[in-house]
């Protein structure tokens, strides 16, 4: 199976790029974040063989799971949190959860406390499952797990995405029984998944690794890479797709 997670930064704006990318790369399951729409273009992806589970209200959020291998036991609610930031489903032999973790904004913003609470709820949700089953959580976590996952750690001092509390919240997911699937290096040593739109950030590879596929050990990974080419050209998202091939 081929799995993909991609923060598209508006599925409507990105549709002319998304559809040919799906057709060319033929992923079996796709997790999309920041769809920014209340009405997903279901018919467009259905023509490529995908069923869709989408949660979105048109604002700066929205998540979707696209599957060509079945879509059962769909859940679009994250306990205690009203924003559409989680979608999950059974996709053939694999349970898939797509997440768009709150940004946090700044350390003194209520959104930062909301982000940590959101992580705690996500960790509690895992207790409904068995770490021995084939399961992935994938999406935009808005956390750089280590200093190596940002282009210059000193630039982020006093900022969100790199604080011990955020990293600890992600580590608790791993400690439950998930593995951080490491993509092979792209340009440079670190497979960044996000580059700010500011001029030169992508060209200079001044990026961050904040998009992840976390998998149980019951999901044998054959390969993983970041499609940097999808971040280039006219009208891209500021994130690139993370592609993972698994043997299930």
pLDDT of residue 78: 87
Q: How far is CA 106 from the centre of its chain?
A: 21
pLDDT of residue 57: 95
CA distance 15 to 41: 9
Long-range contacts of residues 194-197, Cβ cutoff 8 Å, at least 24 apart:
194/7, 194/238, 194/239, 194/240, 195/231, 195/238, 195/240, 196/238, 197/238
Q: Are 177 and 216 in contact (CB under 8 A)?
A: yes
From 157, 234, 156, 153, select the one nearest 197 (Cα to Cα): 234
pLDDT of residue 117: 97
Q: Which residue is listed with tokens 């609610």?
A: 77
Query: Can you give the pTM of this predicted structure?
Result: 0.97
Helix (H) or strand (E) holding 12: helix 11-25
- Ramachandran region, residue 237 (left: φ > 0; alpha: ψ -120 to 50; beta: rest): beta
pLDDT of residue 77: 87
CA distance 45 to 39: 13
Q: Is 243 exposed, middle or buried (0-12, 13-18, 19+ CB in 10 A)?
A: buried
pLDDT of residue 164: 98
3-state secondary structure 38-52: CCCCHHHHHCCCCEE
Using alpha carbons only, how large is the chain's radius of gyration in Å? 17
Q: How far is CA 240 from the centre of its chain?
A: 10
pLDDT of residue 186: 79
DSSP 185: P
pLDDT of residue 80: 87
Q: Which domains does the chain have, with CATH numbers?
A: 2-246 (3.60.10.10)
Read off the tokens for 196: 């700010």
Which SS3 state, helix, strand or coil, does residue 180 take?
strand
**Pairing relation of β-strands 179-180 and 211-215?**
antiparallel
Per-residue pLDDT tens digits of the chain, which is 248 residues long: 999 999 999 999 999 999 999 999 999 999 999 999 999 999 999 999 999 999 999 998 999 999 999 999 999 988 889 899 999 999 999 999 999 999 999 999 999 999 999 999 999 999 999 999 999 999 999 999 999 999 999 999 999 999 999 999 999 999 999 999 999 987 888 999 999 998 899 999 999 999 999 999 999 999 999 999 999 999 999 999 999 999 99
């Amino acid at each position: 199976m081929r799995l993909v997670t991609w923060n598209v930064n508006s599925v409507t704006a990105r549709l002319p790029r998304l559809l040919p990318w799906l057709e060319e790369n033929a992923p079996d399951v796709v997790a999309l974040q920041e769809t920014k729409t209340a009405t997903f273009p279901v018919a467009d992806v259905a023509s490529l063989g995908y069923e869709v589970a989408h949660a979105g209200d048109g604002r700066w959020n929205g998540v979707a799971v696209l599957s060509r291998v079945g879509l059962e036991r769909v859940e679009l609610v994250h306990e205690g949190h009203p924003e559409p930031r989680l979608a999950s489903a059974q996709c053939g032999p694999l349970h898939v959860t797509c997440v768009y973790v709150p940004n946090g904004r700044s350390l003194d913003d209520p959104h930062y406390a909301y982000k940590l609470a959101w992580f705690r709820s996500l960790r509690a949700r895992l207790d409904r499952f068995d770490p021995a089953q084939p399961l992935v959580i994938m999406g935009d976590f808005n956390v750089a797990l280590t200093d190596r996952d940002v282009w210059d750690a000193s630039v982020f001092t006093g900022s969100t995405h790199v604080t011990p509390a955020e990293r600890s919240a992600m580590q608790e997911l791993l400690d439950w029984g998930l593995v951080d699937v490491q993509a092979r290096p792209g340009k440079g040593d670190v497979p960044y998944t996000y580059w700010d739109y500011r001029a030169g950030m992508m060209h200079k590879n001044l990026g961050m690794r904040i998009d992840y596929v976390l998998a149980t050990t019951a999901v044998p990974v054959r390969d993983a890479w970041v499609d940097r080419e999808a971040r280039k050209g006219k009208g891209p998202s500021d994130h690139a797709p993370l592609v993972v091939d698994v043997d299930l």
